[in-house]
Chains A and B, each alone.
Chain A
Amino acid sequence: MSQISRRQAMAILGALGFGATAAACAGPGGSTAPGGASGPAAPSTGAITGKVSFAHWRGEDKAVFDELIKRFVAKHDGMEIAQDISTSNDYNAQALQKLRGGSIGDAFATFRGAQFKNFTEAGIYTELKDSQAVKNYQKGLLSAGQNGDSQLGLPYQVVFPMPMANLDIFDKAGAETAPKNWDAFLGMCEKLASAGVIPISWPGGDVGNGGQLFNCMIANNAPVDDMCAQIEQGKLKCTDDWFIKMLNQYKDLTPFVQPNATGTAVEPAQNLFSQGKAAMLATGSYHLAAVRGLGAKFPIDLVFPNTTSDGNGKYEGAYNATFILGVNSASKNQAAAAAWIDFLSEPENAGYYANQTAQHVSVDKVEYTNPDLKRLSPWLQKKTALAARFQFNNLDVRNAVEASATAVISGTSPEQAAAAAQKIVDERL
């Protein structure tokens, strides 16, 4: 065997390194091509059998889905459904990469907003427009899963991101639960404060939950329905009069939220409400189960902070659909995955999910037996605005815009807070 010098050996290792470099530079994009010029196709049909992976982030719903899986499997021999559950943050960050391979998430859920947009652009969805499932939904509640003419996802849950109210305290204080305008809302807060409780428990230290109040505050203040999309695009500005007016209304709320609200995490805020120390919890109906779990026994309703001065607002409330069901275009078992989505969308099964999880659903003709859901059901028929904060596709922009409200509560002037937010928006344009 001939001998080589160190220099030659280094050259060989260098060549290997160069090879690794070349391999590394093969391109960041994966092999899955997005979309397809002809648009998404419907899920493939075939025998409803084999394994289906159902990817989502709601660990708290696992037991409910386990029961629904049992019922589904009982109807379809040879079916197996596994839940692939991530935390919501992980799901936001990694789901797309995982789903693209098709090995997990034959059926999956998506958040509304940026994630739905990203999944759409990545061509993850199949077309559900002509599916059996879509016929079961309330037509007016399907828009969050649409892209142009396509129905890519089925918005399953309906949540109301509006302050929840302890009706016992409201009765005791003689406060009205449906204030006609902003002055009436502030008057209601005054009455609650006079009754010796904190009018509003607001988790200002938690960006996600603290931001939900924004949906109510902006709904009737903004000049258009797609206000947040327009802010992101630079067509509307945080420094506009209507936005400053909204921030001034946040300032009006300062005496009515708990002391040091900007440092309060969501759990303590829930506790203040559950223990009857606060009359309202400014997060949303999605916390019903949590506050009941913390021991709240009082009747709960929702209150819409009506920001209009004359009571002639376009909206009477706000709603959102965060749990959007879809069938993965990369799945090898689309027929079974679609059958599972169809099954979840049947009123009986959707009703079971709703009543067990204390969440409303978009499926029509569902019978709500959960007392809280029953009481809040009239809100499904009211004119509610689809939660505006999820129009933002850029999370930095969303956080900056919402942070302007938090800054006002902590003492910054509305003009200064708006200017700081607009600076971030301008940088992202």
Chain B
Amino acid sequence: MKPTSKELTATQRMQPGVITLSGFLGSDTRALNEIIADDAAMLERLGHDPEELADRMEYFTRTSWSSYLDEELIEGKYKAQTDVYRGKLPCPYGHAGLYRKAITRLTNMQNGISVVWTSLNIHLIKAHCFFEGRGSAFRIEPETLVKALFE
């Protein structure tokens, strides 16, 4: 599938040094639309949609955000902690708005799975079904994320 001009622009902005140090694509050799299509297909197989995942991630980030120094115990089985750093990041697709440099670490204590995401990850999943390329600093495997969020 030929990439659109929007995807090409987004791909450029996802390169190392444009928005973040290592960029969003990691060592992935697939085109942006292929990465998204593969993850969307995986998500469908798992019976979830990106918005559902993003809303749950947002919930954990928001809940742990209010406890600004400690890990928050949520729903009796999740440990979540959000660290906020100075500054904000834009969406590589050029969406309006800025996303805080906030990193949430979530551990599902029932199955022992831990995942890490940023505020920008939540937006990228919700609006673009983009989980980042393989090997990028904040790539999240959809399968792992689903297990952490819903099992």
Chains A and B belong together in one complex:
no
Residues of A at the B interface (CB closer than 8 Å) are none
Which residues of B line the A interface, CB within 8 A? none
